[in-house]
Structure formats: C-alpha cells, structure tokens
Amino acid sequence: MVREELMAFMREEQVRRGYQLVATPHIGSLELYKTSGHYPYYAESQFPPISFQERGEEEEYLLKPMNCPHHIRIYAYRKRSYRELPLRLAEFGTVYRYEKAGELLGLTRVRGFTQDDATSSAPPRR
C-alpha cells in the first residue's frame, strides 16, 4: 500500500511537470541493447540471451536490464521539431539483472527491481 501511494504521488507530480507516462516490454531484442551500446558494457551483469528459432532464423532477446534503450526508441520513432523539446518520459520500469553479491544493495543479489526512470531529452531549466 505504501508503494502504491508513493507511486501515485510521483505519477501525479510527473504529469504536473510535463512527463508522458510510458510502459515498455519486459523483454527486448538483443540488437536493441547492442545498438545502444549497453550490452557489451553491462553483459556480465545481465541474464544470458534467450534464443528463438522462427522460420529458420534465430532471434535473440534479453530480459530488460535497463529502460533507456526503449525510451530512445520511443523518442526516435519519428522526426521531431525543437519546439517539442524537452520530451519527458516517465516509467516505473521493472528491470532484470544477474548481478554479483554486493554490486548494488550491500550483500544482497539483485535479480529484478522497479525503478522510477523519468528521463528528459534536455537538462532542467534553472
């Protein structure tokens, strides 16, 4: 209940500040993370790719280790005018990692967690 109340407060605040609420899938193409540059850099702390054979072609997917490559795809799906900027996206996105003990939360191992991943395409105004 506490989590839901906190998320409701944060969503209301994000909308008030001009963020668009988005939701991205829990699994993505391995190519998405390679293109963004995340896969080679974070490969050790991600679950191994999942391979599928379809119509004689092998496709590889990853449990979503981070939200930003998906948000980049949302931004890039069409050309934008500078007048649309900053584009602010917000997501309480669940991500999945295969981290060693102590990498994020002391002595615990992180396998999945939800984070407020509000991103903006421009720095905040001062």
Q: How many domains would you assign to the chain?
A: 1
Give the pTM: 0.79
Q: Calculate mean pLDDT across residues 75-89.
A: 90
Q: Is residue 108 part of a domain?
A: yes
Does residue 34 or residue 122 have the better pLDDT? 34
Q: Is the pLDDT of residue 126 over 90?
A: no
Q: Calculate mean pLDDT across residues 8-27.
A: 93
For 54, the domain range is 2-120
Q: According to the model, what pLDDT value does residue 99 have?
A: 77
Q: Is residue 93 part of a domain?
A: yes
DSSP secondary structure letters along 111-123: SEEEEE--EESSP
Alpha carbon distance 45, 55 (integer Å)? 31
28, 30, 76, 83 from 62: Cα distances, Å: 5, 6, 21, 35
Q: Is residue 42 part of a domain?
A: yes
Alpha carbon distance 99, 111 (integer Å)? 7
Q: According to the model, what pLDDT value does residue 107 have?
A: 55
pLDDT digits (tens, 9 = 90+) for 99-120: 776 665 555 667 888 888 886 5
* Omega of the bond leading into 86 within 30 degrees of 0 (cis): yes
Q: Residue 38: which CATH number?
A: 3.30.930.10
Q: Is residue 126 part of a domain?
A: no
DSSP secondary structure letters along 14-25: HHHTTPEE----
Q: According to the model, what pLDDT value does residue 16 have?
A: 93
